[in-house]
Every structure is written in C-alpha cells, then in structure tokens.
C-alpha cells in the first residue's frame, strides 16, 4: 500500500498560455505508482496541452511539475531527456515517423541499445506488435496503415522501452470498439502487472470511467473536479453532470 | 491634420505604423540570426560529443551528393560551354585565344563552380530539408522524437549539416571539372579557339590554391544550406500551408546568404 501511494507525477498550480490566451489555469494533480489517472474535458479544454507540459515538450508560464520527485521546471533539453526516458507518450495522431517502416518505428527507442542482439530486437518488436494486435506488419510503412493501426503502432513504440509512466492522448480515438477495449485492457494490465502509471486524456466518458482510478475534469483551462468515476457519475457540479450525461443543454458554453 | 494617429500617410494596412513595422523587421532579423547561430552551436556541440548517427548521415550524403550530381552536371556543362563561347570571342579579339582555357578554369573554380553548385543544391536539397522537417513538425514527429529522449538537432540537423558540409565541396570539385570540360567542348566546336591549346595554360599558370579556395567557399555555402533548411523546418508553424512557406523561405534565404557570403569570402580569400 505504501508503494501504491508513492507520488509519481505531481503538477502544482500549472499555468500555461499561448500568445496571452490562457490554456491551463493553475491546474494541480498528483498520480501514484500503478494508478490510471484520467483527464476529461471538452475539445480545446487543455487536455493535450497538459500532457505536453508533463512531457516537457512545452514550458509552462508558472507552476511546478515533478516526475518521480524531480522537478522538470528549468531543466535544459538534455536534462529533460534523462527524465523523459522514464515516460512514454502515445500521441493523438500517432506521430509515427513516416519515412520508417513499422519495425523501425517500434524499435526506435532501442536503436542505441548495443546490449540487445538483432534477433532479440526482432523478438521484442514482434512481441509488442502482437500485444497491440498488429503481428506481421513489421515491414509495412505507416502510409499503408489505417488510422487505428497507426495509433496501435504508436502505442507499441511507446511501450517498448518499458516506461514507468505512460501518457495516452486520446488512445481509442479512431479505433473500433473491439480494438478500443483491447487497448483499455492493455493500459489496465500494464498498471496492474508492472506498476506503470498511466495518464489517459480523452473526452470518451464511458471509456474513461471504465478505465481510470480517478478522473479530473478540465473546463476552460481549470481543473474543476478530481474524483473517482463513481463520485463523478453522481456529482452535483452542473458542468460535470452535463459533460458526463452528454447533454446539449446546460452551463457548458459551446 | 495631426500626425498623431490620424494620418493615413504614416500608417500601414492594419493600423501598424511604419516605425513599428520597421522595428518588428529589425527584431525578426536579430531573432533569426540568434536562432540560426544557436542551431549552429548546438550542431557543433553534437558533433564534438560524437552524437552523429552514421547511418542517417550516409543516407543524407547520398541524397545531397549522388542524387544532386545529374542536375549539377547539366548546370555546369552548359555554364562551361557558355563561358567558353564568350571567352572564344573575347580572347580572340584580344589575340590571346590560347588563354581561353585558363580563363574558363579561373572563372569556374573561383566563382561559377562554388556559387552555381550551391544554388542548385539550395534549390534541391535545402528546400527538401525544410519541407521534410516542417512536415515532421506539423505531424508531431519532432515532438515524438523529443518524447523519446532524442534531440531533433542531433538526430535530424547534424547528419544534414555534415552531409552538406562534405558533399557540396565534393560536388563543386566535380562541377569545376565538368564546367572546364564544357568550355573545352566549345573550343572543339568553335573555329576561333584552338582546342589543342585549351589545356596548355591550365596546369601551367593555374594555381591549385584557386581550386582549393573555391571548394573551401562551397563548404561554407553547404553549411549555410543545411542551417537555413533545418532551421526553417524545425521552426515551422503548426499548419500545413506553413510547410510551403518554410520551403520557399529556405530557398530564398539560402540564395541571398550564399551571394552575401560569396562576396565576403571572395574578398577574404582572393587578394591580388
């Protein structure tokens, strides 16, 4: 239980703006070892930007972000890279390297590992493609894959370095319900078996409630609530209620 | 009529004053200069610290060098022939047609070889670099690299910098030879020129320094192409039309900087 409560990602009063327009406004969160932490919100509410801040891809205006206790604020790119090796990120639009084959994409994170033999690399690649249901696609180019297949290759690529923290940006967008369920089960298995901490960003409420231990809702750049899925389902907050129920009428301004 | 705010003569469309527009351009210039200098320094640090990826570099060298050879050859052979044609007339009028080969060789190796080859490479390779890296930026592939703890400068810019720095001089050397040979073809075709005497003064009075200095200039031009192309790609804004703009800017900036650098380097290298 002590290990379960170990903070892994801590965000304190994170504020981020683009061109003077606030995207995130004093957002705070804390995730623990092995936890699946969900972030939901309308499109443009700052969910993806929150992940990009946590990965250190953008620099916040103010606030603090700690990864396994180490603050990433003020680190240069090379220092950030030493923190990033603990994390994997599944991008919303896959972000596969389109000049490389599926094999080269999946093995990219291991390309400098001289201690792994080519046959072992091949085995790892096949194993991770199998996990995401894409066995035998090693020699295909990303352009030959569907959007859902590209998404799954992106997940395999992120998982191959066995990061202790996984950031998923809309992991099931573009996937059919069966494959979305497979990916959700994979996220849960990684957390249960390997203690991987997952932060899952999505606007798919049902998926997130079936997946996450806790869910935070972002609205207009602010974290308006953070609680268990059960508590959010019965929340008195009108914004949360409208979002969870998917109602057209309510306080959310469209 | 007041000059404070109301006069249309001192305003640009959108209400920006001439002064503030000029100020923005000055800031943009120094900002660009600072960013490209920073990129150059980061590349040098990566090179010194042995972060060069050889496999990528060899692929880039093939793209910059081998794949550019046909267009360089066509450019240089026709340029050599045109210069040979002019020299046939001019040296014939002056009664020194035996020196036509020497003049073509000097022209090629000092100026036309380095500048023309670099312009060709800037149009072909610099634009491709900006387009490729710009597309990677827009499709979040640059972010994916960073998320996987890989420096885009080390992985993308450094191999291109090395490839341009090595292959543009190599192409220039080959282009010089093709250009001078093009001049010789004109000597064979034109009665004003003595083809047999075309080569006479090239090894005799033509200095190896001229050839090496011209190739040295082209190494600088190659680095300019890599820096400008990579910078435009890596700093491309997140919109697909911006990739096109970055590509165009890359070619325009490369050509302007090559001309400017050529003047400076020529004055520095060729004295008297």
What's the Cα-to-Cα distance from B28 to each of A164, B32, B35, B226, rounded to whole Å?
A: 42, 6, 10, 20
Average pLDDT over residues A238-252: 88
CB pair distance less than 8 Å for B140 and A93: yes
Residue B241: predicted pLDDT: 92
Q: Do A95 and B139 touch (CB under 8 A)?
A: yes
- Per-residue pLDDT, B14: 56
Tens digit of pLDDT for each residue in B91-142? 888 988 888 888 899 999 999 999 999 999 999 999 999 999 999 999 999 9
Say if the Cβ atoms of A57 and B146 lie within 8 Å. yes
**DSSP code of residue B124:** I
* Chain B residue closest in CA terms to A85: B149
Residue B11 — very low, low, confident or very high, per pLDDT cuts 50/70/90? low
Smallest Cβ distance to B147: which of A57, A78, A98? A57
Q: Do A57 and B151 touch (CB under 8 A)?
A: no
Residues of B with a Cβ under 8 Å from any A Cβ are: 132, 136, 139-141, 143-144, 146-151
Q: How many CB pairs under 8 A join A and B?
A: 48
Of A52, A93, A109, which has the smallest distance from its Cβ to B139's Cβ? A93
**Which residues in A have their CB inside 8 Å of a CB on B?**
52, 55-57, 77-78, 81-82, 84-85, 87-89, 91-93, 95-99, 108-109, 157, 161
pLDDT band at B3; cut points 50, 70, 90: very low
Interface contact flag, B143 A109, Cβ < 8 Å: no
| Residue B272 burial (CB count, 10 A) | 2
Substitution target from B129, B149, B153, B240 for chain A, most A beta carbons within 10 A: B149
Give residue B272's pLDDT: 62
Contact A167, A51 (CB under 8 A): yes
Rounded CA-CA distance B55/B74 in Å is 29
pLDDT at B5: 40
Asked if B147's CB is within 8 angstroms of A89's CB, the reply is: yes
Going from the C-alpha of B8 to that of each of B21, B23, B24, B155, the distances in angstroms are 15, 19, 20, 50
Cβ pair B150:A88 closer than 8 A:
no
Q: What percent of chain A has pLDDT over 70?
A: 98
Return the minimum-mean-pLDDT range out of B61-75, B189-203, B227-241.
B189-203
Q: Which residue of B has its CA nearest to A112?
A: B53
| Residues of chain B contacting residue A57, judged by C-beta atoms under 8 Å apart | 143, 146-147
Nearest CA in chain A to B150: A81
Residue B231 has pLDDT above 60, yes or no: yes
Interface test with B, best of A56, A77, A110 (most B CBs within 10 A): A77
In this complex, the residue of B140, B149, B150 whose CB is nearest that of residue A91 is B140
Q: Does the pLDDT at position A29 exceed 90?
A: yes
Look at A78 and B146 and tell me if their CB atoms are within 8 Å: no
B129: chain A residues, CB-CB within 8 Å = none
User: Rg (Cα) of chain B, in Å, rounded?
Assistant: 23
Chain B residue numbers with beta carbons less than 8 Å from the beta carbon of A48 are none
CA–CA dist A40, A209 (Å, integer): 10
| The pLDDT of residue B70 is above 70 | yes
Q: How far is A56 from chain B (nearest CA, A)?
A: 8
Q: What is the pLDDT of residues A196-207, one digit of tens each?
A: 999 999 988 998
Q: Does the complex come out with an ipTM higher than 0.95?
A: no
Percent of all residues in chain A with a pLDDT value above 90, rounded to a whole number: 73
Cβ–Cβ below 8 Å for A77 and B151: yes
Asked if the model's pLDDT at residue B206 lies above 80, the reply is: no
pLDDT tens by residue, A50-106: 999 999 999 999 999 999 999 999 999 999 999 999 999 999 999 999 999 999 999
Within chain B, where are the H helices? 18-48, 54-64, 69-94, 100-107, 113-121, 127-138, 141-147, 152, 158-189, 201-205, 208-234, 240-269
**Confidence tier at B265 by pLDDT (50, 70, 90):** very high
Residue A72: Cβ-neighbour burial (10 angstroms; 0-12, 13-18, 19+): buried
CB-nearest partner of B148 from A93, A98, A109? A109
A161 contact residues in B (CB cutoff 8 A) = 148
The Cα–Cα gap between A159 and A187 comes to: 10
Mutate to test the interface with A, among B147, B151, B152, B238 (most CBs of A within 10 A): B147
Sign of CA dihedral A19, A25, A30, A35: negative
C-alpha dist (Å) from residue A197 to A6, A66, A166, B89, B202: 11, 14, 6, 79, 72
């Amino acid at each position: 239980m002590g290990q379960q409560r170990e903070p892994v990602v801590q965000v304190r009063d994170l504020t981020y703006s683009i061109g003077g327009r606030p995207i995130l406004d004093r957002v705070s969160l804390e995730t623990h070892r092995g936890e699946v932490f969900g972030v939901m919100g309308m499109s443009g509410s700052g969910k993806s930007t929150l992940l990009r801040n946590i990965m250190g891809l953008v620099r916040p205006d103010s606030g603090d972000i700690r990864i396994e206790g180490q603050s990433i604020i003020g680190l240069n790119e090379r220092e950030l890279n030493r923190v990033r090796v603990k994390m994997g990120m599944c991008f919303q639009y896959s972000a596969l390297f389109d000049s490389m084959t599926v094999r080269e994409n999946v093995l990219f994170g291991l390309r400098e590992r001289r201690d792994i033999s080519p046959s072992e690399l091949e085995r790892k690649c096949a194993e991770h493609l199998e996990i995401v249901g894409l066995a035998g696609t090693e020699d295909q180019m990303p352009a030959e894959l569907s959007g859902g297949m590209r998404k799954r290759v992106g997940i395999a690529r992120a998982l191959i370095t066995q990061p202790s923290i996984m950031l998923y940006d809309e992991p099931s967008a573009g996937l059919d319900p069966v494959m979305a369920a497979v990916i959700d089960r994979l996220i849960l298995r990684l957390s249960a078996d390997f203690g991987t901490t997952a932060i899952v960003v999505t606007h798919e409420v049902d998926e997130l409630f079936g997946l996450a231990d806790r869910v935070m809702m972002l609205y207009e750049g602010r974290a308006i609530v953070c609680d268990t899925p059960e508590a959010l389902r019965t929340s008195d907050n009108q914004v949360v209620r409208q979002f969870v129920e998917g109602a057209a009428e309510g306080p959310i301004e469209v | 009529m007041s000059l404070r705010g109301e006069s249309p003569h001192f305003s640009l469309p959108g209400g920006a004053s001439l002064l503030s527009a000029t100020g923005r351009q000055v800031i943009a210039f120094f900002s660009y200069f600072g960013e490209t200098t920073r990129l150059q320094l980061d590349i040098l640090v990566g090179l010194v610290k042995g972060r060069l990826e050889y496999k990528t570099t060899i692929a880039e060298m093939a793209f910059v060098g081998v794949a550019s050879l046909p267009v360089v050859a066509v450019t240089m052979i026709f340029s050599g022939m045109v210069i040979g044609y002019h020299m046939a007339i001019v040296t014939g009028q002056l009664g020194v047609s035996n020196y036509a080969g020497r003049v073509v060789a000097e022209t090629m190796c000092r100026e036309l070889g380095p500048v023309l080859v670099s312009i060709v490479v800037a149009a072909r390779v610099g634009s491709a670099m900006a387009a490729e890296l710009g597309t990677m930026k827009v499709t979040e592939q640059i972010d994916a690299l960073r998320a996987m703890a890989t420096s885009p400068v080390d992985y993308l810019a450094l191999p291109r910098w090395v490839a341009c720095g090595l292959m543009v001089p190599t192409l220039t050397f080959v282009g010089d030879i093709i250009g001078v040979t093009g001049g010789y073809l004109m000597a064979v075709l034109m009665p004003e020129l003595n083809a047999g005497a075309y080569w006479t003064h090239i090894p005799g009075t033509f200095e190896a320094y001229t050839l090496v200095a011209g190739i040295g200039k082209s190494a600088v031009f190659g680095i300019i192409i890599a820096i400008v192309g990579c910078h435009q790609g890596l700093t491309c804004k997140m919109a697909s039309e911006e990739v096109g703009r970055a590509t165009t800017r890359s070619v325009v900036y490369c050509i302007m900087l090559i001309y400017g650098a050529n003047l400076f380097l020529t004055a520095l290298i060729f004295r008297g």
